[in-house]
Amino acid sequence: MALMNGAQYIESLRKLDIKVYMFGERVKNFVDHPIIRPSINCVSMTYELATMPEYEDLMTATSNLTGKKINRFGHMHQSTDDLRKKVKMLRLLGQTTSSCFQRCVGMDAFNAEYSTTFEIDQKYGTNYHENFKKYLTYVQENDLTVDGCMTDPKGDRGLSPSQQADPDLFLHVVEKRADGIVVRGAKAHQTGSINSHEHLIMPTMTMTEADKAYAISFAIPSDVEGLYMIYGRQSCDTRKLEEGADVDLGNKQFGGQEALVVFDNVFVPNDRIFMCEEWDFSGMLVERFAGYHRQSYGGCKVGVGDVVIGAAALAADYNGAAKASHIKDKLIEMTHLNETLYCCGIACSAEGFKTAAGNYQIDLLLANVCKQNVTRFPYEIVRLAEDIAGGLMVTMPSEKDFKSDLKVGSMTLGETCNKYFKGVASVPTENRMRILRFLENMCLGMAAVGYRTESMHGAGSPQAQRIMIARQSNLGHKKELAKKIAGIKE
């Protein structure tokens, strides 16, 4: 199959019988549901841009498995140049959608699986790497979106998986058969799960031998028997259900999505298993995936940040405050923070190295520094954007009030709103309203899950990066440097 375009991707979802639940009931047509569709539009852009000649170098690559042209989201990184192009691609998509386009998790899982399965096979003589290469070839040939699933519900964080009162709080093997395994449990916070053709499952943490039933990795179709998804709520999500909703949505066309993915005794055939109880490799897979995904945030969040900065600058223009020195300084600070994130994404890519399997991995220390900054800088960018926008961002009447012809006193409600919420005389009140609603959406509303809050918890919360930074910091070497220069001899 050739590369799909955006429309073909959307139509491909209609062929799937994915079980989706929202607000206590089954969503039969999730593709056209007003709350879900913006997130599907986001993924469609990862396909649409790949068909445009001007973005071909960033959005496509040559498969190391087949030699064919593929979407970069299905690519095994073959060089540090590939790693850099990945970051630039993600920034482009962030600029295009100003939201979470959801395919990064699968791409990052592919590259972690590729090298880890190779090393498991080297130690144990298993066939996981061949299984994975065949699976990845299938994904590439059909230009599929794959949801990478790592995070378990986890239950009591003070207990290991095998110590939980309810064993299903971590996904685990419940039955082994000659032709495969049966698994039960769930994966939480799953980005783009409903919009994916396939799911690629990984363990959520480093396991011990006592937890080996939880050290599993495999792939399944999104509509496999026993799999269902419960859609996650976002702030202001029901605005999308309002008749004629437009301005009040902020970012009407694009959005992100998260879901709880439940595995109710799901069967996995042997040729789709990539780890099964090799607990001593669970940490390697987790760390490699986390490293790739933390690199990703140096691209996608930067692209979204570009749009937030632009929106804040427009708000200043429409408010008549653009020439104020403190406004200029805040925009400079926002740009400084955003480009610092990009620097980290590029740096960990440039310092990448070749794995034993042949694909390239990022520098883990710099990738974790990148994500640690992402847990902080977008919050400051959003704070400054809210400062520039002003209080009207959260106190403005609804779009219906602005358009109402209900007579109240000498004017209609619409006339009153348009009169008293006017900014710069040359700027239509609606334009001012649109940019403020957009900033509300990015800072507080539906898109916050794809920028502000996801910057904190996506790819691991702050402490996860600090643990990895400590592991990778090579403190002993730094001590020796100081001893040598200070003249200390032991």
Is 25 part of any domain?
yes
3-state class (DSSP) for residue 430: helix
- What number is the average pLDDT over the span 310-337? 98
**Interval 84-113: pLDDT, tens:** 999 999 999 999 999 999 999 999 999 999
Are 274 and 296 found together in one domain? no
- pLDDT at site 445: 73
104: annotated active-site residue: yes
**Interval 50-81: pLDDT, tens:** 999 999 999 999 999 999 999 999 999 999 99
Domain boundary among 281, 314, 337: 281
Is 88 part of any domain?
yes
- Model confidence at 485: pLDDT above 70: yes
**Interval 378-387: pLDDT, tens:** 999 999 999 9
Are 164 and 97 found together in one domain? yes
Q: 300, 344, 348, 443: which one is catalytic? A: 300
- What number is the average pLDDT over the span 217-232? 98
Find where tokens 């040359």 sit: 426
191: annotated active-site residue: yes
- Model confidence at 230: pLDDT above 70: yes
Cβ–Cβ < 8 Å for 451, 377:
no
**What total number of domains does the chain contain?**
2
Is 485 part of any domain?
no
Find where tokens 């409903």 sit: 194
C-alpha dihedral, 308 to 193 to 359 to 344, nearest 10° = 20
CATH number at residue 38: 2.40.110.10
209: annotated active-site residue: no
Q: CA 2 to CA 20: how far, in whole Å?
A: 29
Q: 42, 100, 236, 348: which one is catalytic? A: 100
Is 368 part of any domain?
yes
Are 262 and 325 found together in one domain? no
Are 27 and 121 found together in one domain? yes
- What number is the average pLDDT over the span 300-317? 97
DSSP calls for 335-346: HHHHHHHHHHHH
The pTM score is: 0.96
Q: 48, 113, 198, 258: which one is catalytic? A: 258
Q: 42, 46, 48, 104: which one is catalytic? A: 104
Q: 293, 386, 399, 417: which one is catalytic? A: 293
Handedness of CA 217, 219, 222, 227 (dihedral sign): negative
Are 251 and 313 found together in one domain? no
CATH number at residue 405: 1.20.140.10
Residue 32 pLDDT class (50, 70, 90 cuts): very high
- Model confidence at 1: pLDDT above 70: no
300: annotated active-site residue: yes
| Closest among 370, 353, 340, 364 to 458, alpha carbons compared | 370
- pLDDT at site 413: 97
Strand stretches in 36-162, DSSP E: 60-62, 69-71, 146-149
297: annotated active-site residue: yes
- pLDDT at site 235: 87
Domain boundary among 232, 252, 281: 281
- pLDDT at site 72: 98
Is 356 part of any domain?
yes
**Interval 112-146: pLDDT, tens:** 999 999 999 999 999 999 999 999 999 999 999 99
- pLDDT at site 446: 66
Are 137 and 53 found together in one domain? yes
- pLDDT at site 390: 96
**CA distance to 291, 318, 378, 448, 461, per residue, from 465 (Å):** 9, 40, 16, 21, 7
Taking CA 252 as the corner, what is the angle to CA 249 and CA 254, rounded to the nearest 5 degrees?
125
Is 304 part of any domain?
yes
- What number is the average pLDDT over the span 266-273? 98
Q: 46, 191, 204, 355: which one is catalytic? A: 191
**Domain interval for residue 432:** 286-480
Are 193 and 301 found together in one domain? no
- pLDDT at site 449: 72
**Interval 165-190: pLDDT, tens:** 999 999 999 999 999 999 999 999 99
Are 74 and 200 found together in one domain? yes
Q: Return the number of other C-beta atoms located less than 10 Å from residue 270's C-beta.
A: 14
- What number is the average pLDDT over the span 292-299? 97
- pLDDT at site 79: 98
Are 244 and 332 found together in one domain? no
**Interval 432-461: pLDDT, tens:** 999 999 999 999 876 667 788 888 888 888
Are 291 and 366 found together in one domain? yes
Domain boundary among 253, 281, 309: 281
- pLDDT at site 268: 98
100: annotated active-site residue: yes
Is 133 part of any domain?
yes
Are 273 and 363 found together in one domain? no
- What number is the average pLDDT over the span 252-275? 97
Is 217 part of any domain?
yes
Are 465 and 393 found together in one domain? yes
